[in-house]
Each structure stands twice: as C-alpha cells, then as structure tokens.
Amino acid sequence: MRRLAAGAAALVLSVPVLVATPAVADDETGKKLFTIDDERITESSGLARSYNHKGVWWTINDSGDSARLFAVNAEGKVEAELTYGADARDVEAIGTGTDGKIYIADIGDNVRDQEKVRINVVNEPERLEDQRVKYRQYDFAYPDGPHNAEALLVEPKTNRLFIVTKEVPKGGIYSLPKGQEPSRDKVNKLTRLGDAPAIVTDGTFTPDGKWMLLRDPVTIVAWSWPGAKVRRSGALPLQPTGESLAMGPDDTSVLVGSEGKASAVYQVPIPTKSSGTTTTTKPKTQDTGNTVGDTKQSHTMRWTLLGAGGFALLMAMFTFPKGRREREDERWEHQRTRSSDVHRTRSAT
C-alpha cells in the first residue's frame, strides 16, 4: 500500500489539473442511509444486498477477522452473524446470487504472492439469527500470475462469478469461460475478459444483469453488459476509506460504504448520464467478441479517474492513520530488507 500510495502521489503531481474535483459532499451525490455501529464490524470491506430478506445487506470484515459474515438492516443494526469453518486469510468481497447462495471472496493479495485465491460459498439462511453454517470452498488461479483484488460480482441470470482486480494503471476482469461451472476437485483456471478501471474496490451487477457497476475510492462507473457499449460515471460521497458497493433499497440506487469503526453507508443514484467519454478502459469480452474503441476523450477520462484515485490515496496518507494493511506491508518490506542485508553480509564474509 505504501508503494501504491507513492506511485499515486507521483501521478497526482504529474496531472494536477485532472484532480481538481475530488468526491463531493453527500448532499450533492447521495444521502447517508445508516451507520454500521457494531463493535464486531470494524472494517466493512464489502456489501451485498440480500435476495431473500428485504432491507438486509450482508457484509464482512477485512483480513484479520475470523470466517464470519453479518446481516445488517437499513438502520445499520446487525440481525445475524453467520460463522463458517474456513481458514480466512484476506477476505475482501462478498456477493449474493439468485441461487440462494452467498459468495465470500478471499481474494486479497497485497504482496501478490498467492498462487491461488478462494471463494467460499454458504446458503443464505431462511431465518436471520446467529448460527454456524456449512460452506463449500472453490480455488481459482489467474492465467497471468497473482493479483490483488477486492471486487467479486455475481451475474444474476446465470450466477457466473467475476473477479475484478485492484491495480494501477488498470485492473482486469476475470472469470471462468462462459458456461463452465467451478469445480471443488481442482484449481479453477480463470480467463481474462478485458481491462477494468484502476483501484477498483468493489462492484455489483444490477438485478437485470444489464449493467456492471464498479467503484474506486471516489468514483462509480457503470458499463452496459456485455461489451460496455454504453458507459456512465459519477462522483461518490467523500469517505475515509471508500470501499464497498451494493445495490440499494431499490434498483435505481446503490449503497457505498467505508472501512473503519462506526462507518457510514450512503445511498447514491446509479449514474444515468450516458457519455462516450466515461470509460477508463478498453474492455474486450471474450464471450461476445465485442471490443470497445479507445478514443482521445476516453484516454483523457482514464487519466482523470486515475488522478482522482491517486488524489484519494494521497489524501488518505496524510489525513488518516496507517491502517492494518499498510502496517502489514511495511512489516513485510522491513523483513525483506533485513533478509537482503543479512544475505549481503554473509556473501561479503
């Protein structure tokens, strides 16, 4: 995270005019719907609207927590805590399917050293009460080496899973080949479907499956699916660590949340202003063969969004105390430096 923030700072310095308008206040882009004020939820890293319980969203803590998830209502109160027996490493995202399943994505990899990532699946309970539930684990591997990711999307018509990586200058959209079901007996080989915006922290499909919604710390992007022939974007409310995204109480809005204790969740309209200049990438869907053209305007918008993301990360460096992931990264860097020094000393002697 420290190296990423340094790179973002350099990006901001190189394109200052493009970050003059960061995320704006909540009264301009949405409203605060509730606050997650429960001592068990200290780093809400993902949100997913329940298909079986109206007015309920599922959330998980970031890495460092045990294998559990929470049902939160529209007042921010926890209605149920589900525990499952998996070995939680770096859980970053959660999604719900029309098949009655909850998908919990253990896909975080800040140092990019994991050969495979895992998605744990539990049945959404009929009754909201604290309980231990059974789970199924599926392992996945990227075709081009390890990646850090924080977004899992479940396509509602097919319940096909999509992982969107969190990287600079662009992320990637990964899935199994169309029609292929994941297997528990082997490591499932993902394919790269195309590019994604930089620094994606969460995402969801609209219930009709026609829009893929992705967010970074300051922006929401809507792509028509598949092929991203229509693209929209909008600003998000300013949050300490803008992280999560889920469908809102209705199908015209989303909820966006932040990590941290007593974190606020905002209701924001889905962008409706169409423009050929809002895309940040040139997504290519292998399912349809469609490729979106890359114009000068879209190139400019790409740097605008990257600059905005860099601005948010830079502001976080100076405004908020170092989080657990940053401390882990620094500790890892320190250990690696010490190992290198010891190796050089031994070589010299």
One digit per residue, the tens of pLDDT, for the chain of length 349 reads: 433 343 333 333 222 222 323 344 444 578 999 999 999 999 999 999 999 999 999 999 997 899 999 999 999 999 999 999 999 999 999 999 999 999 999 999 999 999 999 999 999 999 999 999 999 999 999 999 999 999 999 999 999 999 999 999 999 999 999 999 999 999 999 999 999 999 999 999 999 999 999 999 999 999 999 988 899 999 999 998 999 999 999 999 999 999 999 999 999 999 987 654 434 444 555 554 333 333 333 333 444 444 544 544 444 443 334 444 444 444 444 444 444 444 444 444 4
Encoding tokens for residue 165?
Answer: 């990586």
The amino acid at 243: E
Q: Does domain 2-348 have CATH number 2.120.10?
A: yes
**Which residues, at least 6 apart from 88, have a Cβ–Cβ distance to it below 8 Å?**
63, 65, 66, 67, 106
The amino acid at 128: L
Rounded Cα–Cα distance for residues 168 and 153 (Å): 20
> Model's pTM, two decimal places?
0.76
Rounded Cα–Cα distance for residues 127 and 53 (Å): 9
Predicted pLDDT at 60: 97
Predicted pLDDT at 28: 52
Name the strands in the sheet holding 202-205, side by side, starting at the edge strand that comes first in the sequence: 202-205, 211-215, 219-224, 231-235
**Which residues, at least 6 apart from 142, have a Cβ–Cβ distance to it below 8 Å?**
174, 190, 192
Element housing 49 (H / E): strand 44-49
Instruction: Enumerate the domain spans of the chain.
Output: 2-348
Predicted pLDDT at 33: 96
Predicted pLDDT at 272: 87
> Any idea of the CA torsion for 51, 57, 61, 62, to the nearest 10 degrees?
70
Rounded Cα–Cα distance for residues 215 and 256 (Å): 9
Q: Are 59 and 348 in contact (CB under 8 A)?
A: no
Predicted pLDDT at 320: 38
Encoding tokens for residue 345?
Answer: 């000393």
Identify the DSSP state of 315.
H
Encoding tokens for residue 235?
Answer: 């600003």
